[in-house]
Amino acid sequence: MASNLLSKEDTLAMRRRFIGQSCRLFYSDDPVKIVRARGQYLFDENGKRYLDCISNVHHVGHCHPSITKAAAEQMDLLNTNTRFLHDNLVLYADRLAATLPERLSVFYFVNSGSEANDLALRLARQYTQHKDVIVLDHAYHGHLVSLIDISPYKFRKLTGQKEWVHVAPLPDTYRGIYKEDEPNPGRAYANTVRDLIEEVHSKGRKIAAFFAESMPSVGGQLILPQGYSAKVAEYVRAAGGVFVADEVQTGFGRVGSHFWAFQLQGADFCPDIVTMGKPMGNGHPLACVATTAEIAGAFTDNGVEYFNTFGGNPVSCAIGLAVLEVIEKEDLRGNATRVGAHLKDLFTKLKARHQMIGDVRGEGLFVGVELVEDRQKKTPATKAAADVVKRLKVEDRICVSTDGPWDNVLKFKPAMCFSMEDAELVVRCIDRILTGISHFAILKVCRIHLAADSSTISALLL
């Protein structure tokens, strides 16, 4: 089917009429209509090219020919559910297992990150026979009812905090309770979880799981301080709970140096459950829960079958296998390491020239640039961040987005084929825009002074 049958205005009008308005568009003032894509580029209905810095789903590049081929060939042959024996499921599980520590050897295939996290919650509760969950502040783990409940980012605006949910401080060493100057921020933040567990126990409640993204994304593109996860896992396990690492945004080599972001925390740390999604199928709905034989065993022992109609079908697994092959064949982790380091380095240099850049952080192609109005006070520059996003789209046709509790962190999670030239272009454009914003701010200050001066003069003349 042609993807450009309607004028942009008609598409918009039909969308307004038929689609729930809570499903928001990027750039809601003037949305972009995209009709095709390749690699890290999107093309609108007029053939104009946009550099995509935010589609972390299209991990190995939009419409990668190897992925399309694997999908088409398998679709032509067979697509059924997992109640029939099929090689793709087991071959894919075997390949995924090779990327993970040995103890994470049992897989459940599902269709979205939300399904994966919901199943992780069920597994944790079945295994521990406990109910309560600890989450990080500002976290988002999915759109199902069960996950809204464990997502402070959502429940604060909606249902409120359930009695079985406990919120630990975000381990943010830039603006959190412990900063870079803290001798051991990993330990200090882990101790907040230890204290929270004690508080939960004092109420007679029991922890089933600690849920956290391996690098908090919605929380503001944060890198967890060293030693945090191992220590938290120790406390959570001592309380009879399990550690769930949400790798929905961060997995599949995005950090470059490792295949999974939780591995940044050192070889002595291994979660009990890992959930994955977004990049896994390069845009095809494919997600997964990986766990230990022991946890999976407890889930089996409850006597209730787990069946997922679409999860792990032969087409999904063929696509998943192709994604893993492309990551390896094209050395995309190597590219993420090199280009990510260059991007971070360029932003760090930019920080020396722009007071508005408060912090630059990242690992591989997961980079955040936090904008502030005042470096000392760290006042979030929310409006400036929105202006940068808008101007990048209008003036440079570059798609960037914001994250963080105040939406003041410019986030970069591009396809893993993002190039050095792409990185340089983005930083050059942001440099120009920030220069414009600061010149405008200086002009505004001058105008205020001028106005003050003229009124002073008027007053003096009276």
Q: What residue ranges bind ligand PMP (CB under 6 A)?
A: 112-114, 117, 140-143, 213, 217, 246, 248-249, 277
Q: Quick one: how far is CA 411 from the chain centroid?
A: 9
To ligand PMP, the closest distance from the beta carbon of 108 in angstroms equals 15
Which helix (H) or strand (E) is 242 found in, with range?
A: strand 242-246
Query: Which is nearer to ligand PMP, 207 or 248 (by Cβ)?
Result: 248
Query: Which is nearer to ligand PMP, 128 or 214 (by Cβ)?
Result: 214
Query: Which is nearer to ligand PMP, 40 or 56 (by Cβ)?
Result: 56
To ligand PMP, the closest distance from the beta carbon of 302 in angstroms equals 24
CA gap 281, 57 in Å, rounded: 8
Residue 170 in contact with residue 160, Cβ under 8 Å? no
Query: Which is nearer to ligand PMP, 67 or 212 (by Cβ)?
Result: 212
Query: Which is nearer to ligand PMP, 172 or 396 (by Cβ)?
Result: 172
Residue 28 in contact with residue 44, Cβ under 8 Å? no
Residue 427 in contact with residue 81, Cβ under 8 Å? no
To ligand PMP, the closest distance from the beta carbon of 401 in angstroms equals 12
To ligand PMP, the closest distance from the beta carbon of 56 in angstroms equals 9
- Which residue's C-beta sits nearest to ligand PMP? 113
Query: Which is nearer to ligand PMP, 246 or 363 (by Cβ)?
Result: 246
To ligand PMP, the closest distance from the beta carbon of 420 in angstroms equals 27
Query: Which is nearer to ligand PMP, 117 or 335 (by Cβ)?
Result: 117
What are the tokens at 280?
């896994």
Residue with tokens 């982790």: 333
Among 107, 77, 104, 74, CA closest to 90: 107
Query: Which is nearer to ligand PMP, 140 or 178 (by Cβ)?
Result: 140
| C-alpha R_g of the chain | 24
Residue 103 in contact with residue 232, Cβ under 8 Å? no
Structure letter (DSSP) for residue 104: -
To ligand PMP, the closest distance from the beta carbon of 453 in angstroms equals 51
CA gap 370, 367 in Å, rounded: 10
Structure letter (DSSP) for residue 97: H
To ligand PMP, the closest distance from the beta carbon of 432 in angstroms equals 30
DSSP secondary structure of 323-363: HHHHHHHTTHHHHHHHHHHHHHHHHHHHHHH-TTEEEEEEE
To ligand PMP, the closest distance from the beta carbon of 247 in angstroms equals 8
Backbone angles phi, psi at 404, to 5 degrees: 95, 160
Query: What residues contact 363, with CB distance under 8 A and at least 6 apart?
Result: 215, 223, 254, 255, 256, 257, 261, 264, 340
